[in-house]
C-alpha cells in the first residue's frame, strides 16, 4: 500500500445539533479553548504525517479554508504591535498542510461527501476524518489506523467501545480480535437496536480506505432522505476484500454533543498552566454554590 498522504474531512453539514450557535458559524469553527474544532482535527492529521487536506464543504463555509490561509492584514497588525508570539502562531496555522476543497452541493450523507472528493483522491489510498470528532492521545488517532493499514495492506476503520444504551447511535462492527485492539471485520451494522448489535465496538469517525471504495459507493442505494451511507459501502468492501478495525486509544470528544463540547473546553483549559488554578477555583465555587 502507498503511503497515506491525503485526508478527506467532510465539513458540509448544517450542524443542527449545535443550534443556535451554528446558525451563522460553522460548527467546525466553534472554539475548544483557544482553537476552533477543525484545527484540532487538522493537527491530528499533521502529526500522522498527512500532507494534503481535502475539505468537502459548502458555499457557506469558506471561513474554514480561510482559517488555514494567511491573513496579511492581521499579521501586519501583530507585527507592528510587537506581538511576535501571536504572529508566529497564526502563520504556523497557515503553513500546517496543503488545503484543497470541493463542494458538496447537496448534503446527502457521509458516503456522498466522500464521493465528492473522488477526482482529488484519484488512485491513492486515503484517510477520512469526521470534522467534529476530536481524538487526543500519545499516538494520533488516525496514525493508529495508518500503522495497521500499512502492515496489513487493507482498509481500516477506527472503533471505540460505547455503552450498550448508545449502540443505536453508531455504526457497530462485528469483528474477530486478531491481536490486542486489532480486529478483522466480519460485518458492520448502521445504528442497530441494542438487541441486534453484534458488539459495543462503535465506528468513531476515523477511516483509512483504498480507492476501490468509490466503486462500492456508486452501488449504494440511497436511504432515508436520499442519503448515501459510507457504512453500506464499507460493509460490501469488507465482505469482498477484507477490512480491519482498530480500537483506538486516547480520549474522544464529540464536538456536536454539548456536554462533550463543554468538557473538551475544560479539559484543554486545564492544560494551560496560567489558567488552570484560576479555572479550578471558579469551578469549585460553582459546585459549592449549587
What lies within 8 Å, CB to CB, of 156 at 6+ separation is 145, 146, 148, 149, 207, 208, 243, 244, 245, 246
| Span 9-49, pLDDT tens digits | 999 988 888 899 898 999 999 999 999 999 999 999 999 99
- The values of phi and psi at residue 80, to 5°, are -65, -30
- The values of phi and psi at residue 198, to 5°, are -75, -15
H or E element, residue 32: strand 31-32
pLDDT at 90: 93
**Segments of the chain scoring below 70 in pLDDT:** 288-290
CB-CB contact of 55 with 69 (8 Å): no
- Number of structural domains (the chain) is 1
CATH of the domain at 73: 3.90.550.10
CB-CB contact of 143 with 174 (8 Å): no
pLDDT at 11: 93
Please check whether residue 234 lies inside any domain of the structure: yes
pLDDT at 289: 58
SS3 8: strand
Please check whether residue 224 lies inside any domain of the structure: yes
Please check whether residue 277 lies inside any domain of the structure: no
Residue in this structure with the C-alpha cell 463540547, named with its chain if needed: 261
pLDDT at 106: 87
Please check whether residue 186 lies inside any domain of the structure: yes
Please check whether residue 290 lies inside any domain of the structure: no
- What does the alpha-carbon distance between residue 253 and residue 37 come to, in Å, rounded to a whole number? 10
| Span 122-153, pLDDT tens digits | 999 999 999 888 988 888 999 999 999 999 99
Please check whether residue 286 lies inside any domain of the structure: no
pLDDT at 234: 92
Judging by beta carbons within 10 Å of its beta carbon (0-12, 13-18, 19+), is residue 202 exposed, middle or buried? buried
Please check whether residue 13 lies inside any domain of the structure: yes
Q: To the nearest whole percent, how much of the chain has pLDDT over 90?
A: 66
Please check whether residue 94 lies inside any domain of the structure: yes
Boundaries of domain holding 23: 6-256
pLDDT at 203: 92
pLDDT at 285: 83
Amino acid at each position: 500500500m502507498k503511503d497515506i498522504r491525503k485526508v478527506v474531512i467532510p465539513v458540509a453539514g448544517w450542524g443542527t445539533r449545535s443550534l443556535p450557535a451554528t446558525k451563522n458559524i460553522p460548527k467546525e469553527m466553534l472554539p475548544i479553548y483557544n482553537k476552533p474544532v477543525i484545527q484540532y482535527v487538522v493537527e491530528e492529521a499533521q502529526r500522522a504525517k498527512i500532507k494534503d487536506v481535502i475539505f468537502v464543504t459548502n458555499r457557506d463555509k469558506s471561513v474554514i479554508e480561510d482559517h488555514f490561509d494567511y491573513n496579511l492584514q492581521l499579521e501586519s497588525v501583530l507585527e507592528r504591535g510587537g506581538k511576535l508570539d501571536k504572529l508566529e502562531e497564526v502563520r504556523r496555522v497557515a503553513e500546517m498542510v496543503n488545503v484543497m476543497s470541493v463542494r458538496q452541493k447537496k448534503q446527502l450523507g457521509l458516503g456522498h461527501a466522500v464521493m465528492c472528493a473522488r477526482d482529488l483522491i484519484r488512485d491513492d489510498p486515503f484517510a477520512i476524518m469526521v470534522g467534529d470528532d476530536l481524538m487526543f492521545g500519545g499516538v494520533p488517532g488516525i496514525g493508529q489506523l495508518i500503522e495497521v493499514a500499512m502492515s496489513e495492506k487493507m482498509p481500516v476503520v477506527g472503533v471505540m467501545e460505547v455503552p450498550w444504551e448508545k449502540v443505536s447511535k453508531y455504526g457497530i462492527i462485528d469483528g474477530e480480535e486478531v491481536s490486542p485492539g486489532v480486529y478483522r471485520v466480519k460485518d458492520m451494522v448502521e445504528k442497530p437496536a441494542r438487541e441486534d448489535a453484534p458488539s459495543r465496538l462503535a465506528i468513531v469517525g476515523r477511516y483509512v480506505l483504498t480507492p476501490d471504495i468509490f466503486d462500492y459507493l456508486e452501488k449504494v442505494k440511497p436511504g432515508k432522505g436520499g442519503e448515501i451511507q459510507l457504512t453500506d459501502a464499507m460493509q460490501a468492501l469488507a465482505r469482498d476484500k477484507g477490512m480491519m478495525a482498530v480500537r483506538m486509544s486516547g480520549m474522544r470528544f464529540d464536538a456536536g454533543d454539548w456536554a462533550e463540547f463543554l468538557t473538551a473546553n475544560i479539559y484543554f483549559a486545564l492544560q494551560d498552566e496560567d489558567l488552570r488554578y484560576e479555572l479550578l477555583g471558579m469551578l469549585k465555587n460553582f459546585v459549592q454554590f449549587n
